[in-house]
A and B are shown apart, each in its own frame.
Chain A
Amino acid sequence: MAQILLQTVWFIPCYPLIGAFLSILWFPAITRRTGPRPSGYVNAILTFFAFAHGVIALTAIWNQPAQHQFIPWLNVAGLDLTIPLDISAVTVGATVLITGLNLLAQIYSIGYMEMDWGWARFFSLMGLFEAGMCGLVLSNSLFFSYMILEVLTLGTYLLIGLWFNQSLVVTGARDAFLTKRVGDLFLLMGVVAILPLAGTWNFDELAVWAKTANIDPTVATLLSLTLIAGPMGKCAQFPLHLWLDEAMEGPLPATILRNTVVVETGAWILIKLQPVIALSPVGLKTTIIVGAATAVGASLIAIAQIDIKRTLSYIVSSYMGLVFIAVGTGQTQTALTLIFAYSLAMGLLVMSIGSVVWNSITQDVRALGGLWAKRPISGISFLVGAAGVIGLPPFGCFWALSELAGGLWNTHPSLLGILLFVNGVTAFGLVRVFGLVFGGKPKQMTERSPEVSWPFILPMTVLMGFTLHVPHLLAAWQLLPLATLNYTAAGLLVLSSAIGIGAGAFIYLNEKWEKPVRIGSQAVQDFFAYDFYTAQLYRVTVVFAVGLISQIISWIDRNIVDGFVNLIGLATVFGGQSLKYNVNGQTQFYALTILFGVALLGLLVSWPLLARLSLIVGG
Chain B
Amino acid sequence: MQLQYFLLLAAALFCIGTYGLITSRNAVRVLMSIELMLNAVNLNLMGFSNYLDPVQIKGQVFTVFVLTVAAAEAAVGLAIVLTIYRNRNTVDMEEFNLLKW
Chain A residues within CB distance 8 Å of chain B: 580-581, 583-589, 591-592, 595
Fill in one digit per residue for B57-101: 1 if any A CB lies within 8 Å of its CB, else 0: 000000000000000000000000000000000000110111111
Show 23 residue pairs from A and B whose CB-CB distance is below 8 angstroms, ordered by the A residue.
A581-B101, A583-B100, A583-B101, A584-B97, A584-B100, A584-B101, A585-B96, A585-B97, A585-B99, A585-B100, A586-B94, A586-B100, A587-B93, A587-B96, A588-B22, A588-B24, A588-B30, A588-B93, A589-B22, A591-B21, A591-B22, A595-B18, A595-B22
Question: Which 9 residue pairs spanning A and B have beta carbons closest together?
Answer: A585-B100, A585-B97, A580-B101, A588-B22, A592-B22, A583-B101, A584-B100, A585-B99, A586-B97
Identify the interface centre among B18, B93, B96, B100: most chain A CB within 10 Å of its CB. Answer: B100
Nearest CB in chain B to that of A588: its residue: B22
Hey, which chain A residues are within 8 Å of B98, CB to CB?
A: 585
B71 to chain A, nearest CB (A): 21
Question: Chain A residues with Cβ under 8 A from B30's Cβ?
Answer: 588
CB neighbours of A592 from chain B (8 A): 22
Give CA–CA (A137, B96) in the complex, Å.
92
Within 8 A of A (CB), among B12-41: 18, 21-24, 30
Contact residues on B (Cβ < 8 Å of other chain), bracket = 10 to 19
Smallest Cβ-Cβ distance to A580: which chain B residue:
B101
Report the separation of the CA atoms of residues A587 and B30 in the bound assembly, to the nearest whole angstrom. Answer: 10
Residues of B within 8 A of A583 (CB): 100-101
- Taking CB atoms, residues of chain A closer than 8 Å to B93 are 586-588
- Give, as a whole number of angstroms, the nearest-CB distance from A585 to chain B: 3
How far is the CB of A599 from the nearest CB of chain B, in Å? 10
Taking the closest CB of chain A, its distance from the CB of B1, in whole angstroms, is 17
Q: How far is the CA of A595 from the CA of B91 in the complex (A)?
A: 23
CB-based nearest A residue for B18: A595
Give Cα distance in the complex from A30 to B36, angstroms: 96
CA A595 – CA B24 in complex, angstroms? 16
C-alpha spacing A586/B96, complex, angstroms: 7
- CA–CA, A580 and B98, complex, Å: 14
The residue in chain B whose Cβ has the minimal distance to the Cβ of A599 is B18
Q: Which residue of A lies closest to B94 (CB)?
A: A586
- A584 → chain B, closest Cβ, in Å? 5
Question: Residue of B at shortest CB range from A583?
Answer: B101
Q: Hey, which chain B residues are within 8 Å of A589, CB to CB?
A: 22
Is the Cβ of B21 less than 8 Å from the Cβ of A588?
Answer: yes
Kindly list chain B residues whose C-beta atoms are within 8 Å of the C-beta of A588.
21-24, 30, 93
A592 to B23, CA, bound (A): 10
Q: In whole angstroms, how far apart are the Cα atoms of A415 and B60 in the complex?
A: 120
Q: Which residues of B contact A595 (CB under 8 A)?
A: 18, 22
Q: Which chain B residue lies CB-closest to A577?
A: B101
Cα–Cα distance between A587 and B27 once the two chains are bound (Å) = 10
> What B residues does A584 contact at CB under 8 A?
97, 100-101
Q: How far is the CB of A619 from chain B (nearest CB, A)?
A: 20
In the bound complex, how far is the Cα of B93 from the Cα of A595, in angstroms?
18
Which of A580, A588, A589, A591 is the most central at the interface, judged by chain B CB atoms within 10 Å of its CB?
Answer: A588
* Complex Cα–Cα for A587 and B95 (A): 11
Q: CA of A587 to CA of B100 in the docked complex: distance in angstroms? A: 10
Return B21 CB to nearest CB of chain A, in Å. Answer: 6
**Other than the known A585-B97, A588-B21, A588-B22, what 17 A-B pairs have Cβ atoms closer than 8 Å?**
A581-B101, A583-B100, A584-B97, A584-B100, A586-B93, A586-B96, A586-B97, A586-B100, A587-B93, A587-B96, A588-B23, A588-B30, A588-B93, A589-B22, A591-B22, A592-B22, A595-B18
Alpha-carbon separation in the docked complex, A483 to B101 (Å): 104
- Cα separation A591 to B17 with both chains bound (whole Å): 12
Chain B: minimal CB distance from A159 (Å): 68
> How far does the alpha carbon of A514 sit from the alpha carbon of B101 in the complex, in Å?
93
Chain A contacts for B18, CB-based, 8 A: 595
Residues in A neighbouring B100, C-beta threshold 8 A: 583-586
Which residue of B has the minimal Cβ distance to A592?
A: B22
Instruction: Report the bound CA distance from A328 to B21 in whole Å.
Output: 99
Nearest residue, chain B, Cβ from A589 = B22
